[in-house]
Amino acid sequence: MSRENSADNGRRFYAGYGKRALDLAVSVPALLALSPALFVIAALVKAGSPGPVFYAHERIGRRGRPFRLWKFRTMAADADKSGPAVTSSGDARITPLGRTLRKWKLDELPQLWNVVRGDMSLVGPRPEVRKYTDIFRDDYSAILEISPGITDYAALEFRNEEEVLARYPDAEEAYTSVVLPEKIALYRQYLRDMGFRSDMKIIFRTIREVIRC
């Protein structure tokens, strides 16, 4: 067996079995350990502005299966009905508390529950809405062979995505024509690199980047 075939088999085995084991080994203890902080954040969101604590939105998961992605609400209630699907740093729909939660990525913590459920993985391409997976259908046919994730190369590279989009007059058009194609290239790079060691490196790098915010 060639070295390339061996590496491909290793990635397939890890994608099929190893990633799920890592996801559960990390996400379940993390949810338990963070539960006091999650309750505090939930109370602050509820007290900070009218509306629900959580924001749930349909995203496209592995092999095109839709699922509901969970976040702490960081925008005014029903904000998705009054503006574009993407946000820039100056978006007036973001609440004062929401800006802080977004800066520290705390709004993403409920996605640990998505990981426990099997909708997502700790590491993998960020999940998108169907609108964008349809636009880039050929790319996503390969990308969605694995579960989407909380973090990956693209999430790290575009950790200040809202600031990037704020430079353009039309944030949604910029996301489609500039940002998402670059993300897709990074998603494909992750598919080539995927493995236990690369996932652990991404997890620890993500933690470092969040602490440095």
Within the chain, which residues score under 70 in pLDDT? 1-7
**Which runs of consecutive H residues, i.e. helices, occur in the chain?**
3-13, 19-48, 96-103, 111-117, 130-135, 137-143, 153-157, 161-165, 171-174, 180-193, 196-212
pLDDT tens string 79-105: 887 778 788 888 889 999 999 999 999
Our count of domains for the chain comes to 1
Q: What does the CA dihedral 22, 40, 75, 46 come to, rounded to 10 degrees?
A: 130
What pLDDT, on the 0 to 100 scale, is given for residue 163? 92
Q: Is 60 helix (H, G, I), strand (E, B) or coil?
A: strand
In this structure, are residues 191 and 147 in contact, taking their beta carbons and an 8 Å threshold? no
Task: Kindly report the pTM of this predicted structure.
Answer: 0.92
What pLDDT, on the 0 to 100 scale, is given for residue 6? 66
What pLDDT, on the 0 to 100 scale, is given for residue 86? 87
What pLDDT, on the 0 to 100 scale, is given for residue 50? 95
What pLDDT, on the 0 to 100 scale, is given for residue 143? 97
**Host domain of residue 14:** 3-212
